[in-house]
Amino acid sequence: MSQPDPATSRMTPTERKVIVASSVGTVFEWYDFYLYGSLAPIIGAQFFSQYDESTRNIFALLAFAAGFLVRPFGALVFGRLGDLVGRKYTFLVTILIMGVSTFAVALLPGSATIGIVAPIILIALRLLQGLALGGEYGGAATYVAEHAPPGRRGFYTSWIQTTATLGLFLSLVVILGTRSALGEEAFAAWGWRIPFAVSILLLGVSVWIRRQLHESPAFQKMRVQGTLSKAPLREAFGRWRYARVAIIALFGLVMGQGVVWYTGQFYALFFLQSILEVDGYTANLLIAWALLLGTPGFVIFGALSDRIGRKPIILAGCLIAALSYFPLFKALTAVANPTLATAIENVKVEVVAAEGACGDLFNPVGTRKFTAPCDVARDVLSKAGVRYTTKIAPAETPVAVDVAGQLIPVVQDGAVAPAFAKTLDSAVIAAGYPRVDDGAKVKMTGLFDVFRPQPLAVIGILFLLVLFVTMVYGPIAAALVELFPTRIRYTSMSLPYHIGNGWFGGLLPATAFALVAQTGDIYYGLWYPIVFAGITVIVGLLFVPETKDRDMNADE
């Protein structure tokens, strides 16, 4: 009697419950994690603005870095726990830590009320969020994969892959809805706490669903047979046999996936707002529509990877993204801010400074204050989306900005001229750069403005960027869980995933903008994802094995 083909058979109620329970909880954790990033300027004003510039910068940098940089440590802590005591127990712990930490932000008084204690507690909560997220993803992906039948692991785990995008989408919807209902003034004063407070409801639902789950069959089998790892960390990373696989997974799969993911979802939003100067409401709506339309791609490419393999889809996504970023972002500029696109091509702007007068412009949290005249000039130009070059002048030459032949001095009476920024702004506008209220710029005032030609064209470009994300991200969970034996799977897969996404991906927006500011080219930051995605393609082709047909219960 022939057996049903797992690739075409219907999902059982138990399997559906496993996927729903794992996915709902993971959506909630991503929702929590993204709230801080989306509301960072408002949170900064509430918790850091009371202090002097140096202290404020330190706090802002710590709060920014904590959520990203601590994720690999969460992967180690909870990955080890998951391989020792079980998948279900561990991701119940992670979701409780994430939920309580997020809800606590809603109740935390600002620095005006409790002083320096407020930012210290906020940073501690961010650390807990990062640790929890570091343990959540590996647990959910491993749990679902170990329940999936052979031939359908890509499809089953792809539902987990939708959760990061859905979490971002949910956070944007809640923030936009609250902002619209309360107005900007009330939202900035106290309404920003509502999205954090809502998380307690999501936590209750997620914990209730997850408590009904049973441990994964693969882990139960190991427990019965007595084959559980006694030292998952030492076995996973202390033995070259498995440490080598983790290194290959990082550079041959996850690094490229991470930068493509952050470019398509986060840098695209940053580019719209900070470089193309599209208003925040419009930019968030455009991204939300692109995410909504693109999300099915995770499941489509996950299912496709069950047929043709994980490796070809992930590496193809990295390669296509790397080859198309420049034309796509140039098209985004032309459609979203056509006046700016024309000015970039036609208006020549130069920063004239002596050699050594210009420093670096790395400013990851946006709080650094530049004092050197050359740095002030380049910072102002970059934030205005002006494309410029730097011209080396003879020693002792005063720093100036040449706008289409009009020389604007930066220094007056030995310091940066008080009216420099205003004078420069007037000059670039007169030369052809757009005003803030330029009518040609894309703008949406309601959800269904999407049906106008200009917003529709922008969403089409953003959709392509999200599609690349779904190519690289849809199959990645299946690829990672299949690379490692069951007894150390949770530990082994979590670390490369969170280094690739938390470090290479998480630092992308700040690093890319620093490259833009340093060079004066609004597209130069794209070299960051292009280079790392290209490295992943090369390493992946040479060293990453195909894993779609591997036995998930294998000990080696």
Running along the chain, 556 residues long, what does each successive block of 10 average in pLDDT?
Answer: 49 76 75 74 78 64 72 85 81 86 91 88 88 81 83 91 83 86 89 91 84 76 76 83 92 96 90 88 88 93 96 98 97 96 93 88 69 89 88 89 92 83 92 88 84 94 97 94 86 87 84 85 95 97 93 66
Q: pTM value?
A: 0.85
* E strand residue ranges, 426-479: none
Integer angstrom CA distances of residue 248 from 135, 255, 315? 21, 10, 13
Q: Would you list the DSSP string of 166-220?
A: HHHHHHHHHHHHHHHHH-HHHIIIIITHHHHHHHHHHHHHHHHHHHT----HHHH
What per-residue confidence (pLDDT) applies to 1?
A: 38
Contacts of residues 40-47 at CB distance under 8 Å and 24 or more positions apart, as own/partner, are 40/64, 40/365, 41/366, 42/187, 42/188, 42/192, 43/105, 43/122, 43/192, 44/365, 44/367, 45/188, 46/110, 46/111, 46/118, 46/192, 47/110, 47/111, 47/118, 47/119, 47/122
Q: Say if CB 181 and CB 194 are below 8 A apart.
A: no
What per-residue confidence (pLDDT) applies to 3?
A: 42
Domains in the chain with CATH codes: 14-336+444-543 (1.20.1250.20), 346-431 (3.40.30)
Max Cα distance, the chain (Å): 92
Instruction: Encode 438-474: b = buried (16+ Cβ within 10 Å), e = exposed.
Output: eeebbbbeeeebbeeebbebbbebbbbbbbbbbbbbb
What per-residue confidence (pLDDT) applies to 169?
A: 82
Within a 10 A sphere around the Cβ of 254, how many other Cβ atoms? 28
